[in-house]
Chain A
Amino acid sequence: MMPDLGKYAATVLAAYGATLVLLAGVVVLSVVQSRRAKARLAEIEGRKGTADV
């Protein structure tokens, strides 16, 4: 299934690897921050009995 990348295999795999790691990093960070913010706001609003945004 893996294509024959010849003598540039390490080069191509390094480029894809770096891309996927960095993209995954920013996605995971964004999701974690989103969940934390949601929980924090829910906690404060729960205390105050204010409406959700």
Chain B
Amino acid sequence: MSIWEYANPARFMRFTAKLLPWVTALAALCLLIGLVWGFFFTPDDYKQGSTVKILYVHVPAATMAVSAWFMMLVASLIWLIRRHHVSALAARSAAPVGMVLTLIGLITGAIWGQPMWGTWWAWDPRLTSFLILFLFYLGYMALWEAIEDPDTAADLTSVLCMVGSVFAVLSRYAVNFWNQGLHQGASLSLDKEEHVSDVFWQPLVISMAGFGLLFVALVLMRTRTAIRLRRASALLLRERNAA
């Protein structure tokens, strides 16, 4: 059994029909536990006060926003190399979800930054590259809509995805590269100095799992939608040609 067998749309639809309810249920469960635990049952931070609770939405959203772009990059490369249509559709389907996660990261970061840093926004390397990543998401989605031929659209958006990956990398590692700016380092780290306290990381990990699973569930659902629409267009075209 090879993973490439799922590049067959019919097989992908059959497999994901069974998988999707489980992933969705697990995502809902993890989100519920992680967010309720984080919001209601964790203490305030001695420096940040109750704003530390924003960690449980900001960190998972921002992490998944960058991861979503990497998933799109892998799917785009598969399209460019092996020409599997399901792969191109999966990349396309992930973009709106990644864009929303990036927006959540930007908004919750600004809301947290105002009382903690004294400003809604700073042209810090990490924040700036994250904002550019958001603009790349918008550009990627617009490019898909702008090109009529789906294969050409998949080719050009794949190239755009590769270019945007620079900013996805920067938004994750800018703190390490430049060691300047307002944004702190990773919340989850092997470095004990940097790693958040145990009382915060347990609900954070569950919340991150919830965001990750929700992303997977939405991408599967949206890819299934895209496959159905592609098939509907093909059937309509066949109908017109036959008439």
What secondary structure prevails in chain A residues at the interface with B? helix
Q: How far is the CA of A19 from the CA of B109 in the complex (A)?
A: 11
Using known A-B contacts A6-B50, A8-B50, determine if residue A34 contacts B221 with beta carbons closer than 8 Å: yes
**9 closest A-B pairs by CB:** A5-B50, A37-B228, A19-B57, A15-B108, A15-B54, A37-B225, A26-B100, A41-B228, A15-B111
Q: How far is the CA of A31 from the CA of B218 in the complex (A)?
A: 9
Say yes or no: A16 contacts B13, CB within 8 Å.
no
CB < 8 Å: which of A1, A11, A38, A47 contacts B112? Answer: A11
In the bound complex, residues from chain B placing their C-beta under 8 Å from that of A3 are 39-40, 50
The residues in A between 31 and 53 inclusive whose CB is less than 8 angstroms from any CB of B are 31, 33-34, 37-38, 40-41, 44-45, 47-48, 50, 53
| Chain B: interface size category | 35 or more
A contact residues, total (Cβ < 8 Å): 35
CB < 8 Å: which of A1, A38, A44 contacts B235? Answer: A44
What secondary structure prevails in chain B residues at the interface with A? helix
Q: How far is the CA of A40 from the CA of B235 in the complex (A)?
A: 11
Q: How far is the CA of A26 from the CA of B214 in the complex (A)?
A: 11
In the bound complex, residues from chain A placing their C-beta under 8 Å from that of B50 are 3-6, 8-9, 11-12
Instruction: Mark B residues whose CB is within 8 Å of A.
Output: 9-10, 13, 35, 39-40, 44, 49-51, 53-54, 57-58, 61, 96-97, 100, 103-104, 107-108, 111-112, 114-115, 214, 218, 221-222, 224-225, 227-229, 231-232, 235-236, 239
Say yes or no: B40 contacts A37, CB within 8 Å.
no
CB pairs A–B below 8 angstroms (7 shown): A12-B51, A12-B54, A15-B108, A16-B35, A19-B108, A22-B100, A48-B235
A22 smallest CB distance to B (angstroms):
5
In the bound complex, residues from chain A placing their C-beta under 8 Å from that of B222 are 30, 33-34
Using known A-B contacts A30-B222, A33-B225, determine if residue A6 contacts B232 with beta carbons closer than 8 Å: no
Say yes or no: A6 contacts B229, CB within 8 Å.
no
